[in-house]
Amino acid sequence: MKILLHTCCGPCTVGTLKELDRNVHEITAYWYNPNIHPYLEYSSRLDSLKKLAESINMPTIIEDDYGLKKFVKMVAEDISNRCGKCYEDRIYQTARKAKELGFEAFSTTLLVSPYQQHNRIKQMAERIAEEIGIPFYYVDPRPHFREGNNEAREKGLYMQKYCGCVFSEEDRYRKYRKAS
Ligand code: SF4
């Protein structure tokens, strides 16, 4: 099946591809992540995905548009519940792009992380798939998360320390400061 795979970063892509087999499916990675801040972090994650894609010869489509302003406008009214909007924006964009480019289905590497809201992402993607008129290809690669991260580290890929947005960066390092 020809699948457009929304990719949030290199390490999560490594783990997801252990479940979404490239010997069975024709996978194209799709970078669209206006939720990653600040700019140097965004660049590091994007460069890491490019490095991975080149090393495994995987086609990629990149929306290289640092989206801090767009993202902040999108979540400003309800910052503590921002993740729903963040998932929805990225999944909508992926579904629309997949449909526009004639893919048979879409999926997302967000499904690999035990730190993300897996069931919420799945239900949202199913709803959006129906709305846009393109199948969502569901997989549960969570059992491969650690293995994927270890392999990404061995490959020298950039390993992020927080989810992506400036708010998650604060959450991450406040906890770290308290713990130390
Ligand atoms: S914490 Fe992660 S999923 Fe939630 S809004 Fe920030 S980047 Fe998006």
Residue 86's domain is classified under what CATH number? 3.40.50.620
Averaged pLDDT of the chain = 96
> 30 near 5, Cβ under 8 Å?
yes
Helix (H) or strand (E) holding 72: helix 68-75
Using one digit for the tens of pLDDT, what is the confidence trace for 19-52?
999 999 999 999 999 999 999 999 999 999 999 9
Ligand 1, residue 82: give the atom nearest the CA: 5
In the DSSP assignment, the letter for residue 115 is T
Q: Domain limits at 79?
A: 2-179
| d(C-alpha 59, C-alpha 77), whole Å | 37
Residue ID of nearest Cα to ligand 1 atom 2: 163
Q: What is the pLDDT of residue 132?
A: 98
| Neighbouring C-beta atoms of residue 49, cutoff 10 Å | 26
Q: What is the dihedral of CA 22, 83, 145, 155, to 10 degrees?
A: 70
- Torsion of the alpha carbons at 36, 42, 48 and 50, rounded to the nearest 10: 100
How many Cβ atoms are within 10 Å of 69's Cβ, its own excluded? 9
**Mind listing the pLDDT tens digit for each residue in 57-90?**
999 999 998 999 999 999 999 999 999 999 999 9
User: Is the pLDDT at 178 greater than 80, yes or no?
Assistant: no
Average pLDDT over residues 141-168: 97
- Decide: 165 in ligand 1 pocket, CB within 6 A: yes
For residues 18 and 139, the answer to whether their CB atoms sit within 8 Å is no
What's the predicted TM-score (pTM) here?
0.96
**How much is the pLDDT for 175?**
77
Number of structural domains the chain divides into: 1
Give residues with Cβ within 8 angstroms of 56, minimum separation 6. Answer: 17, 22
Nearest CA to ligand 1 atom 1: 168
- CA 160, 59, 2, 147 dihedral sign is negative
Tokens of 167: 């708010």
pLDDT at position 134 over 80: yes
Residue 92 has pLDDT above 90, yes or no: yes
Could you tell me how far CA 60 lies from the centroid of its own chain? Answer: 13
pLDDT for residue 115 is more than 70: yes
Name the pLDDT band for 11 (thresholds 50, 70, 90): very high
For residue 79, report the distance from its CA to the centre of ligand 1, in Å. Answer: 10
Per-residue confidence (pLDDT) for residue 180, from 0 to 100? 65
Residue 179 confidence (pLDDT) above 80: no
Which ligand 1 atom is nearest residue 168's CA? 1
Q: Please tell me the predicted confidence (pLDDT) of residue 5.
A: 98
User: What pLDDT is stored for residue 177 in this prediction?
Assistant: 73
